[in-house]
Amino acid sequence: MADWIEHPITLDGQQVQLITLNKDHFSELESLAKDKRIWQHYVYDGSDSNRLRAVLKTALTDMLNGTQLPFVIYLRREKRLIGSTRFMDIQPLNRKLEIGSTWLHPDYWGSEVNLECKLLMLTYCFERAGALRVQFKTDEDNKRSRKAIEKIGGKFEGIFRHDMLRDNGTNRNSAYYSIINLEWSNVKTNLTNLLQQKLKV
């Protein structure tokens, strides 16, 4: 069960590829992450290259331990990285995990990229890994992220108070959402339609 979520893997879409993170990606991600708008609702400031590098190194360690699988987001048409995302809190015995730590350069906010990333990741979770539950969480005050999660079909489960501690010492309340396997068919149809509509614009 330790290899329930296999790695390394690449998830291929029409617009993006999700490629398993490795150290060769660090420099490009650090440059991309300099825009402070990305980190407004994160518990750390990824525009600080040293802090981001530490986070990425931890992600690689957690991948070896089987608890996370980090990806870089590669945009095919521009032939470059534009962000990162990952599978987190991987629990083989309960067949559940979380999709999170997703960030994109602001130039791609509201584009088709997030929709296709989620479609690729959720398809893997439910159709290849046989997941029973996929969880999402975000800062209680991150309205843009919460709207995006709800749009793809995430069901709101509640607010976890003082859920995380930010680097600056303040507490973050988190909004939790999930999609379960019984909902996946309808979610997939909706997500596919949303992506097709976005690509036609």
pLDDT, tens digit (0-9, with 9 covering 90-100), for 125-152: 999 999 999 999 999 999 999 999 999 9
CATH architecture of 10-200: 3-Layer(aba) Sandwich (3.40)
What confidence score (pLDDT) does residue 200 get? 83
What confidence score (pLDDT) does residue 152 get? 94
pLDDT digits (tens, 9 = 90+) for 36-88: 999 999 999 999 999 999 999 999 999 999 999 999 999 999 999 999 999 99
Q: What's the rounded Cα separation, in Å, for the pair 19 and 85?
A: 10
Q: Residue 42: which residues within 8 A CB-CB, separation 6 or more?
A: 103, 139
> pTM for the full model?
0.96
Mean pLDDT of 157-180: 97
Find out whether 26 and 58 touch, Cβ atoms under 8 Å. Answer: no
Q: What's the rounded Cα separation, in Å, for the pair 78 and 134?
A: 30
What confidence score (pLDDT) does residue 1 get? 42
